Amino acid sequence: MDYNDILSDRVKTIKPSGIRKFFDLASQMEDVISLGVGEPDFTTPWAIREAAIYSIEKGRTFYTANQGLQELREEICRYYQRRFHVEYNPKDNCIVTVGGSEGIDIAIRAILNPGEEMIVLDPGYVAYTPGVELAGGIPVTINLRQEDEFKLTPELLKAAITPHTKALLINYPSNPTGGFMTKSDYEKIVPIIKESGIIVISDEIYAELSYEEEFCSIASFDEIKDQVIVVSGFSKAFAMTGWRLGYVLAHPVLTKAMNKIHQYIIMSAPSSAQYGAIEGLRHCYDEVLKMRDSYKARRNFLVKTFNDMGLETFKPQGAFYVFPCIRSTGLTSDEFCEKLLEDQKVACVPGTAFGPAGEGFIRVSYAYSLEELKIATEKIKIFVDKCRGNHD
Ligand SMILES: Cc1ncc(COP(=O)(O)O)c(C=O)c1O
């Protein structure tokens, strides 16, 4: 059978994730130290695990409401108001999703018609461009620059908007760069968004991992709040990647549209995870802060260590990645990562896995212990010295 005739054109056009490709390589080798994975090294706080276990013991093993447990939606809206000062209503503005991943998908599909453009940032999280393509939309990329600290500037945004632009997808703090938008950064782009009437999908999955300034959501600007779909979740802040739980917050019309897709493709997010998350939002914030402090110490270590070895590294303000520039080694991002893996058995991700603008950079995750980071960076230093011909 010729499967080429069977697969849809859309699925054939999307490329496999550059991260996966690299990890398949690493998985065939022994004793590899990986700094590649974007997932917390902490186990989910015990109180969350216990609440989920209790829900199973009690036999709460059924589908929940499509939008998610009412109690959880109430906690999410309370939390969002408490932390980020934006008001949402559990009934009309909130859907509990299967991770931020589902949130991104239903947000894109609820608004895009085939042929419409969505602006995505490059370098950016790997799921965005394929998500737009699978919806039949046209991804239009904005190349972010290290000299702007990977922020979205008004000039870059203005230049990317066309009469076909439907939406803009942003992610701050950013995976992979660690870039961050402050309130005053947003103040510069909000008038452009207001005037153009485009929708903003704001992926805020790393909001709690903001190290210098308080996280500011673009939804906190009243004049464009109704144009914003917030996507977030429990994976990163609460160390709950395997539970597959997230949420979207948006205007009632957008929420209703996203819920139409959600109810057919998902029905409802996992019930035990939802019970666990209620407990997390009520009682585990101290643990979120402890994890954040630990990530911050690791960030400080990595930024200094990479700069000391001559790889210029921008100081990320959030998330758990650093994005060192490796141009001074004379290698491309792919060559650097492949040779580093061969030579020192350390796995990082080439910046190009996040878009062509990632050329010249590598992504290093610090969701690993300081001990592991120390060992790995010593090996990276040996490799970098070799690249520069300093063998002693
Ligand atoms: C920027 C960003 N958004 C969304 C996700 C998806 O997270 P999840 O589906 O686990 O909530 C990730 C995961 O790495 C991410 O880095």
Give the pLDDT of the chain (392 residues) as one tens digit per residue.
888 889 999 999 888 887 777 777 788 888 899 898 888 999 999 999 999 999 999 999 999 999 999 999 999 999 999 999 999 999 999 999 999 999 999 999 999 999 999 999 999 999 999 999 999 999 999 999 999 999 999 999 999 999 999 999 999 999 999 999 999 999 999 999 999 999 999 999 999 999 999 999 999 999 999 999 999 999 999 999 999 999 999 999 999 999 999 999 999 999 999 999 999 999 999 999 999 999 999 999 999 999 999 999 999 999 999 999 999 999 999 999 999 999 999 999 999 999 999 999 999 999 889 999 999 999 999 999 999 885 44
How many whole angstroms from 392 Cα to the centroid of ligand 1? 42
Same domain, 150 and 187: yes
Decide if 146 is inside a domain: yes
Residues 137 and 166: beta-carbon distance below 8 Å: yes
* Element at 346 (helix H, strand E): strand 346-347
Question: Which among 171, 229, 236, 323 is the best mutation to test ligand 1's pocket, defined by most ligand atoms within 8 Å of the CB?
Answer: 236
Q: Is residue 130 part of a domain?
A: yes
Q: What is the CATH number of the domain that holds 27?
A: 3.90.1150.10
**Does residue 391 lie in a domain region?**
no
Domain presence at residue 125? yes
Residue 131's contacts (CB-CB under 8 Å, 6 or more residues apart) are 104, 105, 108
Atom from ligand 1 closest to the CA of residue 174 = 1
Q: Ligand 1, atom 14: nearest CA belongs to which residue?
A: 38
Residue 387 C-alpha from the chain's centroid:
32
The pLDDT value given to residue 27: 80
Query: Best of 175, 243, 349, 365 to mutate for ligand 1, by most ligand atoms within 8 A of CB?
Result: 175
144 and 155 co-located in one domain: yes
Q: Tokens 């991260």 belong to which residue?
A: 19
The reply to whether 95 and 234 lie within a common domain is: yes
Q: Which of 250, 284, 318 is the last residue of a domain?
A: 284
Query: Are 314 and 245 within one domain?
Result: no
How far, in Å, CA of 85 to CA of 62, rounded? Answer: 33
Please say which residue of 245, 265, 284 terminates a domain: 284
**Contact assessment for residue 122 and residue 179, using Cβ atoms and an 8 Å cutoff:** no
302 and 219 housed in the same domain: no
Question: Among 284, 301, 326, where does a domain finish?
Answer: 284
Q: Output the DSSP codes for 12-37.
A: HHSPPPHHHHHHHHHHTSSS-EE---
Residue owning the nearest CA to atom 13 of ligand 1: 38
Q: Quick one: 30 and 104 in the same domain?
A: no
Which atom of ligand 1 is closest in space to residue 234's alpha carbon? 11
Domain count, the chain: 2
Q: Is residue 390 part of a domain?
A: no
Smallest CA-to-CA distance from 230 within 252, 202, 195, 199 is with 202
- Examine residue 308 and state whether it is found in any structural domain, yes or no: yes
Q: Please tell me whether residues 31 and 122 are part of one structural domain.
A: no
Q: Is the separation of the CB atoms in 268 and 65 below 8 Å? A: yes
Same domain membership, residue 90 and residue 17:
no
- Of 250, 247, 282, nearest to 69 (Cα)? 247
Same domain for 215 and 158, yes or no, is yes
Distance, in Å, from the CA atom of 23 to the CA atom of 335, rounded to the nearest integer, reads 15
pLDDT of residue 36: 87
Task: State the CATH number of the domain containing residue 125.
Answer: 3.40.640.10
- Ligand 1 centroid–CA 231 distance in Å is 10
Please tell me whether residues 26 and 54 are part of one structural domain.
no
Quote the CA–CA distance of 367 and 100 in Å, as a whole number.
18
For residues 364 and 234, membership in a common domain is answered with no
392 within some domain: no
Owning domain of residue 295:
3-43+286-385
pLDDT of residue 77: 98
Give residue 101 CA to ligand 1 midpoint distance, Å. 6
